[in-house]
Structure 1
Amino acid sequence: MIVVTGATGQLGRLVVADLLARGVPAGQIVAAVRTPEKAADLAAQGVEVRRADYDDPQSLKDAFAGAQKVLLISASVVGQRVPQHKNAIDAAVAVGVPFLAYTSILNADTTGVALATEHKETEAHLAASGLAYALLRNGWYTENYTGSAAAAIAAGTVLGSTGTGRVGAVPRADYAAAAAAVLTTDGHAGKVYELAADEPFTMAEYAAELAAVSGQPVAYADLAADAYAEALTGFGLDAGYAAALADADLGIARGELVSDSGDLARLLGRPTTPLADAVRSAL
């Protein structure tokens, strides 16, 4: 039995779909979700739905009972992840889960990006837990950018603070497929996978791709981090999250969100999705 936490989230749904596509029987997949009603479509496919709230340790134990493998998808609320992840890891230990994979952040042990702090603490707790585990250190999603592609095209500008730094971003589907590969094959215990694009890109290159696909002029405007954070709050983002994204852009400028490990392509059994394909798909 394979348990996927956060299975109604954007990444979790893709993992469940990939498991089914790989031939894993629906009855051997558990969608562990905070709100089971939101997983009605998964239940209709035969996937077992169990309630799992990162803030409710007993619900996690119940959700993980009988699992051979658990995918712990990192929680979504920055600032609350460490206790929530610890609850999940401790629950896996309590019910005797043989293997757990955790979605961390690219280069977690070396990056200075502030968003990595909670992942580092989670990795440390996992290492001390006694569980057999693998770290899926996911890079950035291209959806982080293409989600606002229409607005960028309309404005003719992509904003950021990355300078000429490259980011190893790929679509969520690539990371989901990599997770499904780890969950359906053996030999991953103790592995640390640095997952990123084969061909990282700059924000100027991303803007050029938007222009090429849309036929409209689009350029990259590089801002100071505080100015970029201010712009993000103007677009409606929470101030704390906006600051974290601006900080991550500085990490990109330092070259901390790329990797030449080749791990993602090896897990996929194919090259990672190119930026051009991701942009065309998004538009």
Structure 2
Amino acid sequence: MLAITGATGQLGRLVIEALRQQVPASQIVATVRDVHKAQDLAKLGVQVRYADYTQPESWRDAFAGVNKVLLISSSEVGQRVAQHRTVIEAAKAAHVTLLAYTSILKADRSSLMLAEEHVATEALIQESALPAVILRNGWYSENYTMGIPAILQQGVMIGCAGEGRISSAPRRDYAEAAAHVLTHEGQAGKIYELAGDQSFTLAEFADYLSKATGQPMTYQNLSESDYIQALESAGVPAPFSMVLGNAETGAAAGDLLSSSNDLRLLLGRPSTPIDVTIKEALSEIAE
């Protein structure tokens, strides 16, 4: 059986969707903190099991009979290492044959604040001696497309990435890659640097959006501090605004750019270009 942590999250649901195309739903275990949020998965035949980071014993039951685990990094920045340790220890106790972990692109050499907890988690996995595979996911295209409504309203996209290029891909592509890894043997010991085939600057993103809508859009580059202040003025909480500002500065330094073709190889096709994801996001907004 294959267990997915954070199964009701944005990535988790997509991984389960991809897995259902390859294995019976009854062989998929969705571990969640709120089983009520996973009733739609249960109706599909997926095994829904309760597991909470604050209750280590809950993971023992969640991983009963499980062979492989996909540890999707926790969304609680600042608490991830302790939470991930709980899952890793439970996976070891369950004698799983493979632990897959969603890390961050170029984790071991990235300047992003977000990389710190991923590096620490990768170290915990190595120390555990579990058969493991690291999926270093690049930036999600949705990190930018989710801001399209505000960009359309203001007619300008702001950021502090300068001319930095971003090799992003939509979550669905990363989910398909994870499903491939879980359903194919010989993965233990591998580290995949997963990134989109095509890169873009934020100025190019604004241009793609302009062409897709027929409305003139521009990109305004700010200092990191001014960008953070703008985010907070728009209601983004202070800790998260700092993470976003740091990520943009990292993009300017090349931390979100990669020439790796690992994602393409796992998908068996090119990754989804940003202009396609922009058009899909606009279609959803119009619905």
TM over 0.5: yes
- Contact 1:133–1:188, Cα closer than 8 Å, also in 2: yes
Distance in 2 (CA, whole Å) between partners of 1:204 and 1:226 is 19
**Corresponding residue for residue 2 of structure 2:** 2
TM-superposed deviation, 1:113: 0.7
TM-superposed deviation, 1:61: 1.6
Distance in 1 (CA, whole Å) between partners of 2:82 and 2:133 is 20
TM-superposed deviation, 1:164: 0.1
TM-superposed deviation, 1:95: 1.5
Alignment gaps of 5+ in structure 2: 283-287
- Contact 1:153–1:217, Cα closer than 8 Å, also in 2: no
The one-letter code matched in structure 1 to 2:8 is T
Aligned runs of 1:184-263 on 2, under 5 Å?
184-263=183-262
TM-superposed deviation, 1:172: 0.4
Distance in 2 (CA, whole Å) between partners of 1:65 and 1:76 is 24
SS of match in other structure, 1:42: helix
- Contact 1:167–1:201, Cα closer than 8 Å, also in 2: yes
TM-superposed deviation, 1:143: 0.6
TM-superposed deviation, 1:45: 0.6
**Pairwise CA RMSD:** 0.7
TM-superposed deviation, 1:237: 1.1
**Corresponding residue for residue 121 of structure 2:** 122
**Corresponding residue for residue 103 of structure 1:** 102
Residue-pair matches, total: 282
The one-letter code matched in structure 2 to 1:217 is P
The one-letter code matched in structure 2 to 1:14 is L
SS of match in other structure, 2:78: coil
**Corresponding residue for residue 41 of structure 1:** 40
SS of match in other structure, 1:62: helix
**Corresponding residue for residue 64 of structure 1:** 63
SS of match in other structure, 2:69: strand
SS of match in other structure, 2:107: coil
Percent of paired sites with the same residue: 53
TM-superposed deviation, 1:186: 0.8
**Corresponding residue for residue 111 of structure 2:** 112
TM-superposed deviation, 1:41: 0.3
**Corresponding residue for residue 21 of structure 1:** 21
**Corresponding residue for residue 136 of structure 1:** 135
- Contact 1:42–1:49, Cα closer than 8 Å, also in 2: yes
The one-letter code matched in structure 2 to 1:105 is I
**Corresponding residue for residue 166 of structure 2:** 167
Larger mean Cα displacement after TM superposition, 249-258 or 52-61: 52-61
TM-superposed deviation, 1:222: 0.4
SS of match in other structure, 1:109: helix
Give structure 1 regions of 4+ aligned residues with deviation exceeding 3 angstroms. Answer: none
The one-letter code matched in structure 1 to 2:79 is Q
The one-letter code matched in structure 1 to 2:259 is D
Distance in 1 (CA, whole Å) between partners of 2:136 and 2:46 is 26
SS of match in other structure, 1:233: helix
TM-superposed deviation, 1:194: 0.4
TM-superposed deviation, 1:55: 2.1
Q: TM-score, normalised by structure 2?
A: 0.97
Alignment gaps of 5+ in structure 1: none
Distance in 2 (CA, whole Å) between partners of 1:76 and 1:202 is 26
